[in-house]
Amino acid sequence: MEEAIRTFATQFNFDPEIRNIEHFSFMDSFVLCGMGGSHLAAGLLKMSNPNLDVYIHRDYGLPALSHKKFSSSLFIASSYSGNTEEVLDFAEQALQKNYAVAVVALAGKLIEFAKEHELPYIQLPDVGIQPRAALGFSLLALAKLTNNHELIADLRALSFHINPLGKEEEGRNFAEALDKKIPIIYSSQRNVALAYTWKITFNETAKIPAFYNILPELNHNEMTGFDIVESTKALSEKFYFIFLTDHQDHPQVSRRIEATKKMLEDKGFPTSIVEITGESFWENVFNVILLGEWTALYLSQLYGTEADRVPMIEEFKKRIA
């Protein structure tokens, strides 16, 4: 995992190729199915362009959308391993209904499925990393399938413009602050993909509970759960609140973040602000993601957990096989 973080910028040298391209047509509407780290890139893509017509499906089968949406969309089956059963089910059902299907995977049954049915597919590089650590590869693959040449150029530039090592010391210090705490990550709706990415990074790399939510919605419900009295204090005394902030957030959301942070501090909770900064949108995004990766890695070292492996997920898969 440490090597994956250190060399992350090299992922943007990946040149995705659409295989079986003779069966592929560029479309303007997309339905992507992916689980775990295999749908994170789609969330970031939607974050970069809120007007992009992409629906992210995280379940078996097909989503409940209109027939018009189905018939005019490219169905992207995204599974880093290529063996995710929900994604395989999605691809099979979409193909049965004669919808346009494309595949993004490293290997496995999904690549075999694409070859057998002559479906267009992009095969990701096999460099031995976890799906959540392969965001550069996944983003470039989606940029290719969505025919976004400008995005491809922007992502390629990141191989020169982001410095993963620049966030290591900050991540180490943040991990020390979070030691023996449960992170709660809050952001605006605009940045929810980043908050969610942090949450699963803490779960999978550090092997600790972590949760996320968005403002302003949490001000109407979740925050009241922290209106502690002596009899409820023990329920939340390990929580540590992290606010991801962006100067492009709605001014009222920024005011809400400041007020929520102050109220939580008045209740005795530790809090931190993580500012989303960089020279470009994608530098902003990956500076924040890399900080989360380093923090989770050093938390893993503090707790003595296996940062790279996900044994509980592997055991779960065996139980339902």
Instruction: Give the model confidence (pLDDT) of 238-264 as tens digits.
Output: 999 999 999 999 999 999 999 999 999
Distance set, CA 112 to CA 96, 97, 119, 274, 319 (Å): 17, 19, 10, 42, 24
Mean pLDDT of 90-105: 96
In this predicted structure, the answer to whether residue 300 has a pLDDT above a threshold of 80 is: yes
Percentage of the chain lying above the pLDDT 90 cut: 86
In this predicted structure, the answer to whether residue 78 has a pLDDT above a threshold of 80 is: yes
- Quickly state the pLDDT bin for 88 (edges 50, 70, 90): very high
- Considering the chain, what is the average pLDDT of its residues? 94
Q: What is the pTM of this model?
A: 0.94
Which domains does the chain possess?
2-161 (3.40.50.10490), 164-303 (3.40.50.10490)
Alpha-carbon distance 50 to 260, whole Å? 26
Order of strands across the sheet that contains 29-33: 53-57, 29-33, 74-79, 100-105, 121-123
pLDDT at 308: 84
Element at 300 (helix H, strand E): helix 281-303
pLDDT in tens, 182-221: 999 999 999 999 999 999 999 999 999 999 999 999 999 9
Distance set, CA 186 to CA 57, 215, 260 (Å): 23, 7, 10
Helices (H) and strands (E) in the chain, counts: 13, 9
pLDDT in tens, 115-159: 999 999 999 999 888 888 899 999 999 999 999 999 999 999 999
Alpha-carbon distance 62 to 148, whole Å? 25
Query: Could you tell me if 183 and 210 are in contact, meaning their C-beta atoms sit under 8 angstroms apart?
Result: yes
Q: Is 53 helix (H, G, I), strand (E, B) or coil?
A: strand
Is residue 216 reached through a cis peptide bond, with omega within 30 degrees of 0 on the bond before it? yes
